[in-house]
Structure formats: structure tokens, C-alpha cells
Amino acid sequence: MSFHSRMTLKASRLAAVLVLAFAGTAQAQTSQVQLPVPPGEAVNLTLSADGRVASRDLARGVYQVVHSAATGRLYVASSEAIPNVRGGVIYELDRESLAVTGLIHTDEKNFGLALGAEGRVLYVGHSVGNAVSAIDLKEGKVLARTTFTERSADGTRYGPRELAYDTTSDTLYVGGVGDPGRIWALDGKTLDVKASIGDAGKWVTGLLVDAEANRLYAANGSGEVLVIDRTTHAITERWRPEGGKEYLLLNFALDRATHRLFVSDHSKAKTIVVFDTRTGKTIRELDGVGESMDLLLSPDRRTLYATHRERGTVTAIDTESYETTATFPLPPNPNSLLLSPDAKTLYVTVKTPFTKDYHASGWERIARIRLAP
């Protein structure tokens, strides 16, 4: 998320910038309104020279992507960031052809996603609507919704950014953008608030559940990693990188076996920080990798994948040597990552720069990358 100097925006707009953005330079606004792509349309995939990378235009305002084991489909959140368009769309896609197989229209704009147990319930964050919904994927109906009414110190409402589902306790954790930030623990069925965790630093940006260690990790714009007890919901530790720079930490990847927590920084230190989860100390910073957005660790823990919004690339990083082993161009702004169930395909949402009014400046894409066996 490229952080521009709009620190005086209200929290609802700031939430949009944090979830929506950290994008590039504003572009001239296009006047043509593009309607949602209908199911069953012919798909024209754009292929890389070696055939490993395929992508297609999908919407204006794409964000996170998830895969449901219950349906075998991909689901992509879209805010439909088009002038004079209200609400958003969840796109259901075939994971091989990337064809649209279904649409779920929502009254709020969609950003963060998480799946419930067995992949039957999709949790959707509505950042600018200050709410979270639970949607039945079979029926496409909203099962529950919570609208957050708490306010940050300046009186503005929190915008939910990242969602993280805990299967062991049927709890949905939601990070709130505000100053100070806030984290909610919601009942997975009703979305009732079970706990509200305050004093979470400036803007809660990333969340990760580590059930084995009974921890929830949270990243924030103050450059901290918060360690939260999942039972008491108390913040037990605050870790800071030891590089002596200003950090705005974003997203996580966890290697439990080697006790390493990887955290991205896209806009301030522009690096990936590696923490030792036993001590909270910094193991190293991957400054050679540069600005990084989303992170994803392969199941064999040998490769860390990262999106780089400013450079328009996705990289594969060896987790032993910390060297980059592959680079996949996906301009202009690759955003979120998802690994297929067989770990052979990497899915990426690709954004365009925002207009001055924070609309999408062009068609945004979903891509798939065939990984080496």
C-alpha cells in the first residue's frame, strides 16, 4: 500500500486508503462505467512468453482472493470502484480457466476476505461501510453482519481491514484502522463481538492466527508486531524491528518449524522483517527484496512469495539463503496472493493506480502462475 500524505483523512476514508490502496500515482479518471462480468462469458487469457503466467481482466476494484474447498471455486472481492456505482461484487471463478461462474452482489463494497470452517461461509470486510458480513456460498445470502460503532481518539469510526478466521475456536478476528487501532474477536456464526482489543497501535494492518502457540499476531502502522493471547485477548508483547528505521508493517507469513515470522513493509522501510517468535528479536531484514505487500509461505517452507506493488512483480524467495529465485512481472500493481490446494499454482490479484477520487483507473485482473514442480 503506497502511503500518500493524507494523514488528515477521516477514518472511513483512511481505511479505504489502507485497504484499497497503498497504490501508485493517481491517473486520469475514465468516464466509461464497466458492469460486472457475467457468468459464462468467453475468457481471453493473456499468457506470458513461457506460458507459466496467465491473467484476465475481471473488475475495477479487486482485492483479496480465497479458495473454497466446499465449492472448489475461487472467490475475489471487488469494491466496484467506479464512479456512481454503489455496493460491490464477489466474483466466483473457475480456478483453471479463470472464467466467472457466479456473482454475489453486495450492498457494501468488498475488500478483505476469510473463509469459515469447511469453506462454506465467506467472511467479507466492508472497510468504508465499517462492517463485516458472513455469506453462505451455496445460497449467496448474508447470514450475519456486524457494524462497528466504536470510534478512535479523533471521534471517527474504525474501518475493518484484515480478517483472520480461527478454526479451533470458531472466531473471526478483524483489524480496525484508526488511531489507536482496535481488534475485534467475533463469534464465527453470529458475528457477535466476543472481545474488543484496544490500544493496538496506529492502524491495525495485518493479522495471523497461530493456534498451536495460542497466539494472534497483529501488525500496525506504528511499526509493531503485537502478540495477543487468544484466551484472554490481552496484548502480552510488542515487538519492534531493530533496524533503527521508521516502519509501517503490513502482512505476515509464519514458519512454525523454524520459529520465524515474516512481516512486510511496503511504504516506509520497504523491506521484509524476519522475527524470532521465541524471543521477539529481529533475525534479519531482507532489504535486497525491497518494498513488499502480501506474503505467502509454501507448504514445504522453502519458498516465500511476495508481491511488490511499486515494481509490478511477484517474487519467490528461498527461505534458507533469503535470495530471490524467481521473478514474475505482473504490472501495474500486484496485490494479494493465494496458493492452490495442491501448491502448484499461485493466484494473484492485480490492481491499477487510483484516480484522484480513489476509483480504479482501469480494468484490474486475476492471474495464475504455474509453479515449478
Decide if pLDDT at 311 tops 70: yes
**Can the peptide bond before residue 241 be classed as cis, meaning omega within 30 degrees of 0?**
no
pLDDT in tens, 85-138: 999 999 999 999 999 999 999 999 999 999 998 999 999 999 999 999 999 999
Calculate mean pLDDT across residues 173-187: 97
Decide if pLDDT at 3 tops 90: no
pLDDT higher at 117 or 328? 328
Decide if pLDDT at 345 tops 90: yes
pLDDT attached to residue 42: 73
Decide if pLDDT at 228 tops 60: yes
The fraction of the chain above a pLDDT of 90, given in percent, is 86
The phi and psi torsions of 19 (rounded to 5 degrees) equal -85, -45
Decide if pLDDT at 28 tops 50: no
Structural domains for the chain = 240-328 (2.40.10.480)
Neighbours of 341 (CB within 10 A): 10
Decide if pLDDT at 188 tops 50: yes
pLDDT attached to residue 35: 63
pLDDT attached to residue 373: 65
The fraction of the chain above a pLDDT of 70, given in percent, is 90
Calculate mean pLDDT across residues 193-221: 97
Three-class secondary structure assignment of the chain: CCCCCCCCCCHHHHHHHHHHCCCCCCECCCCCCCCCCCCCCCCCCEECCCCCEEEEEEECCEEEEEECCCCCCEEEEECCCCCCCCCEEEEEECCCCCCEEEEEEECCCCCCEEECHHHCEEEEEEHHHCEEEEEECCCCEEEEEEECCCECCCCCECEEEEEEEECCCCEEEEEEECCCCEEEEEECCCCCEEEEECCCCCCEEEEEEEHHHCEEEEEECCCCEEEEECCCCCEEEEECCCCCCCCCEEEEEEECCCCEEEEEECCCCCEEEEEECCCCCEEEECCCCCCCCCEEECCCCCEEEEEECCCCEEEEEECCCCCEEEEEECCCEEEEEEECCCCCEEEEEEECCEECCCCECCCEEEEEEECCC
pLDDT attached to residue 31: 38
Give me the chain's average pLDDT, please. 91
Residue 32 binned pLDDT confidence (cut-offs 50, 70, 90): very low
pLDDT attached to residue 326: 96
Please state the pTM of the whole predicted model: 0.92
pLDDT attached to residue 36: 84
CB contact at 8 A, 358 and 370: no
Residue 341 binned pLDDT confidence (cut-offs 50, 70, 90): very high
